[in-house]
Amino acid sequence: MSTETDFGIPAQGGQSPGRQQSSLGTAGARNLSTTTKSQPQMQGISPRWLLRMLPWTQVTGGTYRVNRRLSYKVGGGRVSFVQTGAEVRVVPPTLRELPVFGGFPDEEVLAELAGRFVQREFAAGEVLVERGQPVDEVLLIAHGRVSRLGVGSYGEPTVLGVLADGDHLGLEALVRSDALWEYTARSSTAGTLLALPWPAFQELADRSEALRDQILARLADAHRPQNKRGEAEIAMSAGHTGEFELLGAFVDYELEPREYELSIAQTVLRVHTRVADLYNQPMNQTEQQLKLTIEALRERQEHELINHREFGLLHNADYDQRIQPHSGPPTPDDMDELLSRRRGTRFFLAHPTAIAAIGRESNRRGLYPGSVEVEGRPVPAWRGVPIFSCNKIPISREGTSSILALRTGEDKQGVIGLRPAGIADEYEPGLSVRFTGIDDKAVISYLISAYHSVAVLVPDAVGVLENVDITRPGR
């Protein structure tokens, strides 16, 4: 705060009255100085480990086709539900996710079938089915967690798996009248399920020839020679002696293999010619604008590889490769189960908060996850497999997230990134910057395009630990 001298003139720099400034102040001196500037900074830049660690395949023609052996396994996914107040109903088309209804074309029959499911509520700890009892209904879990319990080799109880929203039990009831439950199902939380009794299904099957044909076709597929992955078996002989007549064999392929079309992320960068001409030193304005725009596009690119409904990893992981945590938080047991689902896991991918939860649960058991060196820096690891952070993996409002495990590489039958080869005006691999002209307002425009996709070559190349509670420690 300035003061006044004896003559009513304000003193400079807050000096006491009667004292005059004896040298040039810093405020005035700055007018003649040259400042040292940083380049434009951006908070939204993340490590983008997925983009860095994925092996990229150059795609010509904009499409990549994944050829696989013929598989008889159809469906096997999860059913969806719609809720109105306390009432829960099956979304009829999603019944095709059940293997027995895979590819069934009759929408009317599916709608009637969905209407025959009966809603039930269950409490935590309730036994839903008992091992050894007849399977007389199909159960769809609309909400909640259910553990499948079995008996070990020495009579001890074992946990065979955990089921959650959209999972199903008892499909044997639709194809076998004498099927028995091979496990006990007990609820871990309270929830809701929808049950289809055998008589309700049988009455509809008696009236619908299409439904009967569907069941017979699925039974035929089930009895065809196949390996444990559901692929058509390759006949061969082993262990024989003498002049044994060898079996003939061939490898059958899928007739309609999946094709991945390259997706795109685009924007138009605009720079006024006045800015580009006059305010271009010591840093090039266009280069800096371009640099930050590309960073934002790369961030969106990684988000799409994780979350896109058509090709994103979270939506394309096979349902047999999705597991539920045993107690909520990501325990060492959960991480081991996720790791054991595939050979040659290259890395885990998790939200930073989920990585913290993994460390917290390990510490509770007196374990330290350890680390490995990647690109000259230590990275958290589990069983020697690095755990990379990815803030694109969503966290639900309930505080749950997912952890992915990936095997990568075309030669490993894993996950690969897809990008075009040799596009026009390529600025970086898979990204082009194209000058599109100057408008009548003297604004320069550049079209920036990034092409990308990701392909899962075989189903077990990616696994997901779902519904991981990352907000609280385990019990």
pLDDT at 208: 86
Q: Which residue has the tokens 């044997």?
A: 172
- The pLDDT value recorded for residue 239 is 67
Query: Which helix H or strand E contains 337, and what residues bound it?
Result: helix 332-340
- Element (DSSP H or E) covering residue 292: helix 285-307
Check: CB of residue 67 under 8 Å from CB of residue 257: yes
Q: What pLDDT was estimated at residue 408?
A: 97
pLDDT of residue 58: 94
**pLDDT tens-digit readout, 12-32:** 545 556 678 888 888 888 888
Query: What does pLDDT average to over the chain?
Result: 86
**Site of tokens 């019990």:** 475
pLDDT score at 218: 67
Residue 5, pLDDT above cutoff 60: no
H or E segment to which residue 166 belongs: none
pLDDT grade for 304, boundaries at 50, 70 and 90: very high
Residue the block writes with tokens 């029959």: 109
Retrieve residue 184's tokens: 């006990």
Contact 131, 106 (CB under 8 A): no
pLDDT over 80 (residue 117): yes
pLDDT at 87: 87
7 band by pLDDT with thresholds 50, 70 and 90: very low
Cα separation values, 160 from 99, 146, 374, Å: 20, 11, 35
Residues in contact with 362: Cβ distance below 8 Å, sequence separation at least 6, in sequence order: 332, 368, 369
CA distance 84 to 143: 14
Comparing C-alpha atoms, which of 472, 229, 471 is closest to residue 341?
A: 229
Average pLDDT over residues 86-108: 85
Q: What is the rounded distance in angstroms from the CA atom of residue 430 to the CA atom of residue 451?
A: 6
The 10s digit of each residue's pLDDT in 383-407 is 999 999 999 999 998 899 999 999 9
Q: What is the pLDDT of residue 229?
A: 61
> How confident is the model over 409-438, as pLDDT tens digits?
999 999 999 999 889 999 999 999 999 999
Q: In whole angstroms, give the CA distance from residue 185 to residue 178.
A: 19
pLDDT reported for residue 362: 92
Q: Which two tokens stand for residue 211?
A: 């439904």
What pLDDT is recorded for position 55?
A: 96
Share of the chain above pLDDT 90, in %: 45
Give the C-alpha separation, 305 to 264, whole Å: 11
DSSP annotation string for 295-322: HHHHHHHHHHHHH-TTT-HHHHS-GGGE
Kindly indicate the confidence band of residue 292, based on its pLDDT and cuts at 50, 70 and 90.
Answer: very high
Give residue 68's Cα distance to chain centre: 22
Tell me the angle at which helices 352-364 and 332-340 cross, rounded to the nearest 10 degrees.
Answer: 120
Look at residue 70 in the predicted model and tell me its pLDDT. Answer: 67
Written as six digits, the tokens of 199 are 């008589």
Rounded to whole angstroms, the Cα distance separating 148 from 158 reads 9
Instruction: Supply the pLDDT for residue 228.
Output: 61
Quick check: 462 and 415 in contact, CB under 8 A?
yes
Query: How confident is the model at residue 429, as a pLDDT?
Result: 93
- Backbone φ and ψ for 223, nearest 5 degrees, come out as -95, 0
User: What gap in Å lies between CA 303 and CA 299, rounded to an integer?
Assistant: 6
> Tens of pLDDT along 48-85?
999 999 999 999 889 999 988 766 554 456 888 887 77
Cα separation, 440 vs 3, in Å, equals: 54
- Tokens encoding 202: 């049988």
Taking the C-alpha atoms of residue 214 and residue 224, their distance in angstroms, rounded to an integer, is: 16
pLDDT, tens digit, 9 for 90 and up, residues 142-190: 888 898 998 887 778 888 888 888 888 888 777 777 788 889 999 988 8
- Which tens digit of pLDDT belongs to each residue from 222-258? 556 666 666 666 666 676 677 777 666 666 777 888 8
Q: Comparing C-alpha atoms, which of 260, 291, 297 is closest to residue 449?
A: 297
Instruction: Say what the pLDDT of residue 9 is.
Output: 47
pLDDT for residue 161: 84
